[in-house]
Structure 1
Amino acid sequence: MLKDHAKIIHAIAASDEIVGRKKLQKMIYIAKKINYPFHEKFAFHFYGPYSEELTLRIEELCNMGFLNEIKEKKGGYYQYRYTLTESGTEFLELNEVSMPHLKDCLVDMNGQSARFLELVSTVLYFEELPKEEVKEKIFTLKSKQRYTEEEINQAYHYIDALNTKAAILS
């Protein structure tokens, strides 16, 4: 059971810090889609792919004292900041996780905006569809985000780059 928890701790440790619940969700989803062994189930939600399982695991890890969740007020909303605790580091040392080169991919993703990762994860969610249909879905389902065709093309290029990086590094 705790193997999946250890993978989440490993991901946050590899990233040093992840700012934002949405960003955390998208990073794990994208990592899963480029073949890292995360097992949380995702469904399409307001902000793209979302996992209730992942939300519960994060909550459990915070309750167990393995993760710090710092809630910060940002204008009209709250933002959450995730880091590993000393206990989380000790847990990870006892429960080694082998996901070679995940750090390289996560550090890259962590440098992207949550908005862009939302687009990338949405493209990946509909990856079985032809590119034109994916664009239509994005323009319809994500109309409030006002994504441009150029941003969608950038998302496709970014996915290719991540897949290449994951393949080369493994």
Structure 2
Amino acid sequence: MLKDHAKIMHAIAASNEIIGRKKLQKMIYIAKKIDYPFHEKFAFHFYGPYSEELTLRIEELCNMGFLNEVREKKGGYFQYRYTLTESGAEFLNLNEVSMPHLEDCLEHMNSQSARFLELVSTVLYFDNLSKEEVAEKIFTLKSKQRYTEEEINQAYEYITQLKHKARTH
């Protein structure tokens, strides 16, 4: 029953701490798209791929005492920090999750900005389209973000690096 919950806990534990709900959503989505076994369904939303299922699982994990969510006032908005609790760590020790090389990928993603991960996840969301069509979608759907051609190319490069990290080490 809690296998998918354990995978999310494993992802947060592997990252030590994830700052921001948007970043957490993008990291899980990107990991899923590079073939890690996350099963949450994602739909395209204001900030790119978003999963209501993931939001509910995070809430459940916080309510069970397995995840710590700290809400901080940051300028005109609230930011959330996620870490594994001691109970969460004990639960993970008893329910081992095997996702080889995930730590490396998540650590690398966690060092990126939420804005960049939003771009990367959007590129992955439209991966059935040509590079030109993806760029067109980004310029249309993400016009407020003002992404450049260069950033889109960096996103493609980054995806290649992550897929390589996921396969080796």
Tell me the distance in 2 between the aligned counterparts of 1:12 and 1:96: 14
Q: How many residues align?
A: 169
Q: Indicate the SS of the match to 1:81.
A: strand
Tell me the distance in 2 between the aligned counterparts of 1:167 and 1:99: 11
After superposition, residues 33-112 of structure 1 pair within 5 angstroms as 33-112=33-112
Tell me the distance in 1 between the aligned counterparts of 2:168 and 2:111: 20
TM-superposed deviation, 1:165: 1.0
Question: What TM-score comes out, normalization by structure 1 length?
Answer: 0.99
CA contact (8 A) 2:18 2:110 kept: yes
CA contact (8 A) 2:109 2:117 kept: yes
Deviations 1:118-148 (A, max 9, x none): 0000000000100000000000000000000
Tell me the distance in 2 between the aligned counterparts of 1:167 and 1:107: 15
Tell me the distance in 2 between the aligned counterparts of 1:79 and 1:22: 10
TM-superposed deviation, 1:168: 1.7
Q: Indicate the SS of the match to 2:68.
A: strand
Gaps of 5+ in 2: none
After superposition, residues 1-170 of structure 1 pair within 5 angstroms as 1-169=1-169
Matched residue type, 1:52 = E
Gaps of 5+ in 1: none
Tell me the distance in 2 between the aligned counterparts of 1:98 and 1:107: 16
- How big is the alpha-carbon RMSD for the aligned residues of Structure 1 and Structure 2? 0.5
Tell me the distance in 2 between the aligned counterparts of 1:114 and 1:149: 18
Matched residue type, 1:54 = L
Tell me the distance in 1 between the aligned counterparts of 2:75 and 2:29: 28
Matched residue type, 2:138 = I
Tell me the distance in 1 between the aligned counterparts of 2:166 and 2:82: 24
Tell me the distance in 2 between the aligned counterparts of 1:102 and 1:11: 8
